[in-house]
Amino acid sequence: MKIYKRIHYSIVGRIKAADLSKEFQEMITIDTKVFKVQDKKTKHQTEHQAARTLLERMLRETYGIETWSLAKDERGKPYLVSHPDIYISISHSHGLAACAVGDRPLGVDIERIRSFKENIWHKVLSTKEQETFASAKVSAKERQELFYRFWTLKESYVKAEGCGFRIPPQDITFLLNWDGDILSGPEGYQFQVEKVRDNYMIASCQKL
């Protein structure tokens, strides 16, 4: 069962379809346009524009929508003013932008895998997740990847719920094995998480 009508990733830099698993390749379309970043000051702005460009393209190609505008509800979740029955989610991080659209609540999150303060996982992970994380006999790099699997899954979930982290991240529990496979998560949602190349983690979810 596919989660979305479509997920679309745009690269501020470049990622090839071959870098993604077969399952993800079936779900996405790679945009060949490269958004060039002139300097660090405009980096975030450029990534945001890349995500907006993806949304524009997806709405046109998937739903035939040419004109649209965004607003935020009382919880800060973006929605299409003239098409509130179409759900959207965008994310961008360090050179990669993503957008998802569909007919049910959904969320997508991207994070660059990088080092983090050792005490942060105590503030982010639930008790069960901490047990998995603390007992994982993996390298430092694999430990970073495992953390960002948890983190992006939580982000995608709160985006789909539209509540942000009004739900404390410690109250959201995913069970993963040491390879990062999802064993269970919050009820009523389908989840997926994928490492792209060596330095990005992408998670997505949609309400069942």
Domain-wise residue ranges, the chain = 6-207
Q: What pLDDT is stored for residue 113 in this prediction?
A: 93
Please provide the CATH number assigned to the domain covering 6-207: 3.90.470.20
| Residue 196 to residues 50, 112, 148, 189, 203, Cα–Cα distance (Å) | 18, 10, 12, 23, 11
Other beta carbons less than 10 A from residue 200's beta carbon: 22
Confidence of residue 41 (pLDDT cuts 50, 70, 90): low
> CA-to-CA distance for 174 and 151, rounded, in angstroms?
10
**Winning range, highest mean pLDDT, from 70-79, 90-99, 122-131:** 122-131
Confidence of residue 96 (pLDDT cuts 50, 70, 90): confident
**Winning range, highest mean pLDDT, from 47-51, 54-58, 144-148:** 144-148
pLDDT of 32 > 60? The answer is no
Confidence of residue 40 (pLDDT cuts 50, 70, 90): low
pLDDT of 91 > 70? The answer is yes
Tell me the pTM: 0.80
Q: Is the Cβ–Cβ distance between 4 and 106 less than 8 Å? A: yes
